[in-house]
Each structure stands twice: as C-alpha cells, then as structure tokens.
C-alpha cells in the first residue's frame, strides 16, 4: 500500500521509496527509511498535505510525494468515526480524503496513541479499543 492511501491515525512501516532523484532522496534524508515506523497525524482539507510522524520526526508532504512511499499498514485507525470501517474503506477510492469520510480528532483513544507513537516509534502499542 502507498502512504498516500492512508488516513489520519493509521500506523505504518516504511517498506520502500519508489522514486529516486530529488524527492526520493529528500524523503530518505528527512527520515523515511526502510523499516522506520510512523503514523499519519492528519490530512489537510480537500486532500491538502499530509502531516506524518515518522521515526519521531514530524513532516509535511503532499499526497503526490506520499504516493511514492510504499508502506505496510500496522494498524488502521479504529472505526467509530462517524462511518463504519467497511464504509470508510469503501469510500476511500471514491471520495479520497473528502470531508465526508471520517472525523479524526473525535476519538480520544487514538489521540493519545498518535502522540505516543511519535514519542517512541519502536514501541508497538496495543490496539486502542474501538468504541
């Protein structure tokens, strides 16, 4: 899966960067390296830039750059954000990061976890319980 497909609070592990040259190396220099773990903190309005925390560094990047980063999803953010999990995944392709799908920021459990994941990227945390 590519980083650009993830949504707020999803946790991931970097597998590979599929663009060489400038962007790829810049991403690598700034902390996107194989096996580093991170979390999507938020996505901007209307597919605006993504704020991700990777290896403890907070980075902003556009979806077009994130589309070059192959990741393994460690944990999808729990459902309960308005739309059910199935619905959310279903909407993903059609609506992208539209305002319709999901409301990150309302679930208290994953807020704390998002911050913690960035404090300590090595620690694997337990699944926050879905409300």
Partner 1 sequence: MKNSYLIALAGNPNCGKTTIFNAITGAHHKVGNYPGVTVEKREGQRRYKGYDLRIVDLPGTYSLTAYSPDEMAARDFLLTEKPDAVIDVMDSSNIERHLYLCMQFRELGVPVIGALNMADEAEAAGVLIDAAQLSNLMGMPFVRTVGSKGRGVENLLDATVDLLEKLQRDGPEASAAAALSHRMHYGPELEDKLHELCTLLQQDSAFVAAFPVRWLAIKLLEKDQDAYKRLKGHKDEALIVPKAIAAAQWLEKHFGRDAEIVVSEQRYAFVHGAVRETVSKKPLLVQTVTENIDKVLMNRFLGLPIFIGVMWLVFRLTFALGEAPVGWLESLFGWLGGVAGRVIPEGFFQALVVDGIIGGIGGVFSFVPLIIILFFLLSILEDTGYMARVAFITDKFLHLFGLHGQSFLPMILGFGCSVPAIMATRTLRSTRDRIVTSMIIPFMSCGAKLPVYVLLAGAFFPQNPSLAVMTIYGVGVALAFLSALLFKSTLLRGEPTPFVMELPPYRAPTWSGLFWHVGEKTLTYVKKAGTVILAASVLIWALTTFPVLPEASVPAGLPEAEVSRLALEHSIAGSLGRVIEPLVRPLGFDWRIGIAVITGFAAKEVVVSTLGVMYAAGSAEDSIALTAAMQADPLFSPLVAFSLMLFILIIPPCFAALATLKAELGWKWLGVSVGYMLTVGWLLTFAVYSLGRLAGWGI
* Token code pair at residue 63: 């979806």
**Contact with partner 1 (CB under 8 A): which of 2, 5, 13, 28?**
28
Nearer to partner 1, 33 or 80 (CB): 33
Nearer to partner 1, 21 or 86 (CB): 21
Cβ 30 to partner 1 shortest distance, Å: 6
**DSSP per-residue letters across the chain:** -BGGG--TT-EEEEEEE---HHHHHHHHHTT--TT-EEEEEEE-TTT--EEEEETTEEEEE-HHHHTTEEEEEEEPPPS-BSB-HHHHHHHHHHHTT-TTS--TTS-HHHHHHHHHHHH-SSPPPPPPPP-
Cβ 6 to partner 1 shortest distance, Å: 15
Establish if 123 lies at the interface with partner 1 (CB under 8 A): yes
For residues 50 to 89, the per-residue mask of contacts with partner 1, x marking binding by CB under 8 A and - elsewhere, is: -x---xxxxxxxx-xx------------------------
Binding piece for partner 1, criterion CB under 8 A, among 24-32, 77-85, 88-96: 24-32
């Amino acid at each position: 899966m590519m980083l650009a497909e993830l949504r707020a609070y999803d946790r991931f592990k970097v597998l590979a960067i599929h663009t060489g040259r400038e962007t790829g190396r810049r991403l690598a220099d700034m902390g996107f390296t194989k096996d580093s773990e991170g979390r999507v903190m938020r996505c901007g309005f209307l597919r605006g830039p993504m704020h991700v925390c990777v290896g403890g560094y907070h980075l902003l990047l556009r979806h077009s750059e994130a589309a070059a980063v192959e990741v393994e999803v460690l944990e999808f953010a729990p459902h309960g954000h308005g739309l059910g999990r199935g619905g959310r995944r279903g909407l993903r392709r059609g609506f992208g990061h539209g305002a319709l799908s999901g409301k990150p920021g309302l679930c208290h459990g994953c807020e704390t976890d998002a911050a913690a994941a960035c404090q300590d990227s090595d620690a694997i945390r337990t699944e926050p319980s879905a409300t």
